């Protein structure tokens, strides 16, 4: 993400999520959101490096297990096959989003194919493994997202602009972690449009009728 100024990030990833990400135990949609935040956040990137180092040290203490010659040959064959596959295109140098996200949207935010979901709010669902959903959200300045709760976990990372809800204000690089205990009404700052990357592992619980009726078609 070229030309990005130093961000004043005040909302970071919880330790448990960082550990799960480091261990590779997260759905693809969550991995994408976490990786994008880490690319924006020096503090979380340093913390992840420490976790990865600890994990590597623990692996060194694990007793070695003897494998057969056939297993070794099969592993080499798989590595060769992977290396022969076409590589994903490198994110363009002029992308306006961090590299993990640029790979999913084909470059930059101008390449996103938005779909209107009402009241000026737009979304773009990203292709992931289906165990959770990742989407970009575009919320016009001063506009609120309908009041809702959660049936699971939702990660919301601010890419541009800012939003506020019942808990706090979230600006570029900030990430909000919501669960079943949180009901909120996010509102984009009046000063500018807000673009977020959000990942959910269960449908939201909207508190009004119209969003509930549209929920099936909008996949939120």
- Residue 138: count other Cβ atoms within 10 Å of its Cβ: 24
- The distance of Cα 14 from the centroid of its chain, to the nearest Å, equals 14
Confidence of residue 219 (pLDDT cuts 50, 70, 90): confident
- How much of the chain, in percent, has pLDDT values that exceed 70? 75
> Whats the size of the chain, residue-wise?
220
pLDDT at 58 over 80: no
pLDDT at 91 over 60: no
What are the pLDDT digits (tens) for 127-168? 999 899 999 999 999 999 989 999 999 999 999 999 999 999
Query: How many helices, marked H, and strands, marked E, lie in the chain?
Result: 6, 11
pLDDT at 102 over 70: yes
pLDDT at 51 over 80: yes
> Where exactly are the structural domains of the chain?
10-220
Mean pLDDT score across all residues of the chain = 83
State whether residue 187 is helix, strand or coil. Answer: strand
For the purposes of burial, counting CB atoms within 10 Å of the CB of 194, is it exposed (0-12), middle (13-18) or buried (19 or more)? buried
pLDDT at position 95: 79
pLDDT at position 52: 77
Q: What is the mean pLDDT of residues 88-113?
A: 80
Residue with tokens 């016009």: 140
CA 168, 143, 109 angle in degrees (round to 5)? 90
pLDDT at 1 over 80: no
Kindly give, in sequence order, each residue whose CB lies less than 8 Å from that of residue 39, ignoring residues fewer than 6 positions away. Answer: 1, 45, 98, 99, 100
CATH number corresponding to 10-220: 2.60.120.10
Whole-structure pTM value:
0.79
Task: Decide if 123 contacts 102 (C-beta within 8 A).
Answer: no
pLDDT at 65 over 70: no
pLDDT at position 119: 87
Radius of gyration of the chain (CA): 20
Q: What is the mean pLDDT of residues 65-81?
A: 54
Task: Decide if 98 contacts 195 (C-beta within 8 A).
Answer: no
């Amino acid at each position: 993400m070229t030309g990005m100024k130093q961000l004043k990030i005040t909302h970071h990833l919880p330790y448990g999520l960082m550990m799960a990400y480091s261990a590779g135990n997260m759905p693809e949609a969550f991995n994408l959101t976490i990786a994008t935040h880490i690319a924006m956040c020096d503090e979380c990137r340093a913390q992840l490096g420490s976790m990865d180092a600890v994990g590597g040290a623990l692996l060194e203490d694990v007793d070695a297990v003897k494998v057969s010659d056939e297993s070794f040959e099969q592993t080499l064959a798989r590595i060769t096959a992977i290396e022969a596959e076409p590589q994903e295109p490198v994110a363009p140098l002029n992308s306006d989003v961090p590299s993990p996200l640029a790979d999913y949207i084909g470059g930059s935010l101008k390449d996103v194919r938005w779909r209107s979901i009402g009241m000026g709010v737009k979304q773009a669902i990203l292709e992931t493994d289906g165990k959770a959903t990742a989407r970009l959200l575009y919320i016009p300045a001063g506009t609120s997202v309908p009041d809702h709760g959660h049936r699971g976990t939702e990660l919301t990372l601010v890419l541009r602009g800012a939003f506020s809800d019942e808990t706090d204000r979230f600006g570029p690089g900030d990430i909000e972690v919501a669960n079943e205990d949180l009901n909120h009404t996010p509102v984009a700052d009046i000063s500018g449009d807000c673009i977020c990357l959000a990942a959910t592992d269960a449908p939201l619980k909207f508190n009004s009728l119209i969003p509930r009726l549209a929920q099936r078609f909008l996949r939120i």
